[in-house]
Structure 1
């Protein structure tokens, strides 16, 4: 199990002493090790499955059981439209159908997975006993990616787009990989050997890399020179969030005490962190922020707090990139016969749409290369299917977007 996790998000924050964390009662009251938010969907890793929510946690769907033998879902990533789950002791599992079935793809890789990273079109994984691995071209096996990497333990791996970095086993060691060099190069976060100092987690925000260590949080833009952002009280599990106007640090002490720190983003590196909240009887493995809520994956379940309680008015994130199309929600859903979806496009294009059953078989193909005009297009889809759960895939300019449809 990873000891430290570091996650950076972009919002503005203020404190609210009276606010309370809410538990998601719909989900099991057991360990949640992973929580992530991507493309409008929440992904929560439980003990042996992945839970998803497309409405910011109001309702949840469950994947199929990954394997009855896995102890935990320690990391989750989407790569080339496939779901990948990293476990601690049972290797990697892959799903090509949104979690309806799973395939173990642990050939060639250590079974103790810490973290995934996508860099230059490839998927990488850091592990506890084998260093760093790269997913092979067949997408079902792995190969060591160790040229110049001298440790067998790597707790975290991340990329800022231009380069990739991975933590070493001790001494404040961190490795940088750049395509021009073609191999890993070791650097020290403190600029010198630091016995007992572990780089426990690394994440990227825009062009900046942040590393959580047992001696504080460090930042770098080139993976070589690191700046201490300020001292935190020593804890053995740290989660961080990079906000638009501030930096948040959630520090666990033992198995029950949690302290949340805050520092203005424009503050000098060694300006002290401000304690903004403390709570007990919990253990936070990881955090994420969605459109309206701040989330914590904890020892006893999944919890959230509305961002508004921190003085945050959504949208919390940075300005959205100039996108070429936008897909609305299905309506009605659940449906009996017809349903509709609005697709907004910036230029005239074509789309194809097909529906699959729970086994992944295509059962209905309403549109093939249907023309869409610039602007809003309201599509009405006839539904001849019997009651059940289906998945609708919309193809736009070579990309596929799949959503759940319930027929009653």
Structure 2
């Protein structure tokens, strides 16, 4: 399973959670029979969350206002300082980054309390560089003039001429598409402009806009066309990134061709989820949030550690372990747990946080699965071997694991 599907913005209206656009991109190779969301590890790595931060900051800077979440009232950036002076713009950019980081940490604390604060996912100097880059991004894209804040809260917008609004929900029941466009403007000429804000790289190795982004914008256009009455005359589609603005083909004949392809996709709509497993496992399982409940991944990981050679662009497998508890030593804030793996090797987890054991500690002789650890051990002899010593809470904050989760049999 690809951890970052290009067309993930669109979801089908059923239990499977796969999209027709994803099928067009060939991302359905590892089809899920079900999705146990309640038992899943968090699906976003620190780098993916950094991408979300960049998206928030880019969107706010271009639109001229900041909204901490979909339901919070928007705040004009002009109220934070002087948009026309260099010093004022730097102050606004710094505050925008600070607000975005604080908002993300609050969200994570509420929804995924096992995560450490975002700043602890990097070494101090690396985190300083991250903040510097985010401030530079905001400063480069900050609007020169005050922008009026949107009104109407979360009320569904009217898809008619005069619309000018961010985060517009769009959907087409006939095409099974659903998503939210970052910005939609419907001017008097009836040519609707749909903009999507992207953080990070948007070009493929050949220097072309990634196919997933093209399909995403064209999907928005199809969804708006189906929902609007009267319908617009045409579309201007664009991807806005910190690297520039990229036009997407929104011609009528192009959209009609995509519509025919979507209508011909054979997706088993409405199937019920009955089991948790995947058809295949491989390198794309590295950060899959479902690996704790996937027997295919467990088997693959046990075999892959035996021949995981270091090479250009290669990375070690996730630092996950499972086996039978041999001993438990309880400290003031953490546990020392020794485990015997299925291969018969003893492994130590030093500094496993108490928060994983709210009702009871793990017991000697009990099977246990621990995902998302850290280790100080590296490659040996040109090979990434499965370490023998792990930890969650490190001696220094930036050496700690960030998303550890423990699963017991009961």
What TM-score bracket applies, with the shorter chain setting the length?
0.3 to 0.5
TM superposition score normalised by structure 1 = 0.33
Q: Could you say which structure has the larger radius of gyration?
A: 2
Instruction: Determine which structure has the larger helix proportion and give its number.
Output: 2
Instruction: Determine which structure has the larger strand proportion and give its number.
Output: 1
Higher relative CO (CA 8 A, sep ≥ 6), structure 1 or 2?
2
TM superposition score normalised by structure 2 = 0.33
